[in-house]
Amino acid sequence: MLSEAEIRALEGQIGTAVRDDQRHHENLQNLLRQFQSLLQSYNGLKSDYEEEKANREKWKNQAKGQERNPFVLVLVDGDGYLFKEHLVKAGSEGGVTAAQLMNESIRRLLQERLPDQANQCRVMVRIYSNLLGLSKTLARAGLAGFEARSLSAFTSNFTRSQDLFDFIDAGDKKEGADFKIREEMFRLFADNSQCKHIFFAGCHDTGYLSLLTPYIGKRNRITLLKAASFHPEFKTLDLPIREMPDVFMSAPLGESQPTAPTPTPAATFASPARAPVCKHFQKGICKYGNSCIKDHTMPGQQLSRTQLDTPSQTLSTVRHYAKYLPSMDSKAEKLIPVNKDGDRIDTYCPMPAKGAWETYNRRFKQRKLCNKFHLGGECSDLSCEFDHSTSDVDPGCLSVMRYMMRQRPCPKGSKCRSLKCYHGHMCQKDGCKCTKWSKFGRDIHTIDIKVAHWLVPVEHDDQSETTPSEAISGVKLMEFEKHSDSSSEGVEIGLSTWNNHLL
């Protein structure tokens, strides 16, 4: 039997155990409460993270979409910026030509302003004017008819000729064009990341200064276009100023505009110099342009450049190339045309139709076609990543590819004799004035484009299986073609060239 002291000791031990157990229970409950709090905080942070992640992905997708379709905006106050007289007088045809010239001029400016993005950016043009009032003004100047809105034929064809070109009637209210440009278009696209640059043509009206003031010095964002009645206060904005002399009048309506007589096709190749030759023009640094008193003639060229820069010559350029350049026929598929100086002449390659460009763009989004295979005839690159299939290639795609590659000069220049070469050996650009933006050298713009001989390509030399008899029969065929085609202007077949080759 336990003694009194042992019983008290056991009682103390039991009490200690109970207290320890109670303290342990309280600690456990405290830990559970802390865990519950941490769990709630974790769930809240996780929810915030998921929401932030979703927003980030949303903005990334939007940013990708914005970079996918870059463009440049051309804003024009049509009441102050008038098209060249010969374009307005041409009516509906002048509208088409004006749109083409504007597109080419903006493309040249893009090569200067955005060289890395020039080829990716589309050109959007918005011209706002009081069509009724402008028609009356041009009618009084003898450039349009006296019927109401006589300029509509010009403006409608300007709009139809390019996808993103619009000539908009802003109504006959005072400053209607100003409101549309200031309140609608400029502020809408000024901070748009897809809009890479804005060309602003409204520098005749100081009312636009308040619109442009917040963008002082932002030379990578805005370029001012200069034409007649350019106000000097716009120079204080510290923005680049450029001109489009092929498109807009350089003097106010009613004053004399730079003109020149329409040259005949024969004058294109023979026109005597009338003044000392301008050496600065030959170096590409003449700052006087058409007003220079010296003759703008390149070395070996007989026609003055001041005559080539006339509007009438610009309009006839495409007809000039179509007349003198050979077409892509069975002869051009086997032989190489050259002029009397031995310079290679390309076959005529006009601008593809709108439908062909659309077909090419759709095909390009699927997979890019291989230039070497489809234009050159073969591709020796076993790891080529471009498309070589021929089953679903539309002829329109090939015409666009051929046109684009003709804009890239051949490294061998006019001495190239390869039939597989699909690059350009001469400039066929409509209205090209051999400016510093031209990819072809100045000498290329002055060569004689009449075909004098048809030469055997270098690939023919590699075909050892071609027998002399076959070559001689080819000579006879060429001789027959020479007599049958004797009525074709400017095209002769050099029989002696073939005989020298056989020897």
Q: 145-196: per-residue pLDDT in tens?
A: 888 889 999 999 999 988 899 999 887 765 656 666 765 678 888 878 888 9
Of the candidates 111, 133, 132, 131, the residue with the CA atom closest to the CA atom of residue 120: 111
Backbone phi and psi for residue 165, each to the nearest 5 degrees, phi listed first = -100, 130
Longest pairwise C-alpha distance within the chain: 148
Residue 500 in this model has a pLDDT that exceeds 70: no
Q: What is the pLDDT of residue 8?
A: 84
Q: Hey, is 337 helix, strand or coil?
A: strand
Q: In which band, very low, low, confident or very high, does the pLDDT at 71 lie, cut at 50, 70 and 90?
A: very high
> Which two structure tokens, joined as six digits, stand for 148?
């109401």
Report the predicted TM-score, pTM, of the whole model to 2 decimal places: 0.43
Q: Hey, is 253 helix, strand or coil?
A: strand
Q: Which residue has the higher pLDDT, 76 or 440?
A: 76
DSSP state of 387: B
Residue 433 in this model has a pLDDT that exceeds 70: no
DSSP secondary structure of 298-333: -TT--S-HHHHTSHHHHHHHHHHHHHHSPPSSTTTT
CB atoms within 10 A of CB 299: 9
Q: Is 129:78 a contact under the CB 8 Å cutoff?
A: yes
Name 168's bridge partners. 128
Backbone phi and psi for residue 131, each to the nearest 5 degrees, phi listed first = -65, -40
Q: 328-365: per-residue pLDDT in tens?
A: 887 888 899 999 888 999 998 888 888 888 888 888 88
Q: Which residue has the tokens 């060569």?
A: 447
Q: Hey, is 477 helix, strand or coil?
A: helix
Q: 237-287: per-residue pLDDT in tens?
A: 999 999 999 999 988 876 655 544 444 333 333 333 345 777 665 555 666
Element (H, E) at 125: strand 122-129
Q: Which residue has the tokens 């007003």?
A: 291
- The fraction of the chain above a pLDDT of 90, given in percent, is 22
CB atoms within 10 A of CB 159: 17
What sections of 273-423 are H helices per DSSP?
A: 279-282, 305-308, 311-324, 354-366, 371-374, 395-406
Residue 388 in this model has a pLDDT that exceeds 70: yes
Q: What is the pLDDT of residue 437?
A: 47
Q: 98-135: per-residue pLDDT in tens?
A: 999 999 999 999 988 888 888 889 999 999 988 988 99
DSSP secondary structure of 196-236: EEEEEE-TT-GGGHHHHGGGTT-TTTEEEEE-TT--GGGGG
Q: Hey, is 483 helix, strand or coil?
A: helix
Q: By mean pLDDT, which of 2-6, 385-389, 471-475 is the weakest?
A: 471-475
Q: What is the pLDDT of residue 160?
A: 92
Mean of the per-residue pLDDT values for the chain? 77
Quote the Cα angle for 250-251-256, to 5°: 120
The type of residue at 217 is G
Beta strand pairing call for 336-338 and 453-455 = antiparallel
Of the candidates 204, 129, 136, the residue with the CA atom closest to the CA atom of residue 166: 129
CA 37 to centroid of chain Cα atoms: 62
Q: Which residue has the higher pLDDT, 209 or 477?
A: 209
Q: What is the pLDDT of residue 467?
A: 36
Element (H, E) at 167: strand 165-169
> Which two structure tokens, joined as six digits, stand for 96?
């088409």
Name 129's bridge partners. 169
Residue 497 in this model has a pLDDT that exceeds 70: no
**Whole-number Å distance between alpha carbons of 168 and 108:** 25
Q: Which residue has the higher pLDDT, 429 or 169?
A: 169
Q: What is the pLDDT of residue 316?
A: 37
> Which two structure tokens, joined as six digits, stand for 368?
């890019």
Name 125's bridge partners. 74, 165
DSSP state of 350: P
Q: Is 495:478 a contact under the CB 8 Å cutoff?
A: yes
Give the dihedral sign, CA 359/363/364/370.
negative
Q: Which residue has the tokens 């023009």?
A: 281
Distances (CA, A) of 176 to 82, 169, 181, 184: 17, 9, 9, 11
**Whole-number Å distance between alpha carbons of 210 and 202:** 12
Q: What is the pLDDT of residue 380?
A: 86
Q: Which residue has the higher pLDDT, 490 or 419?
A: 419
Give the dihedral sign, CA 258/290/78/252.
negative
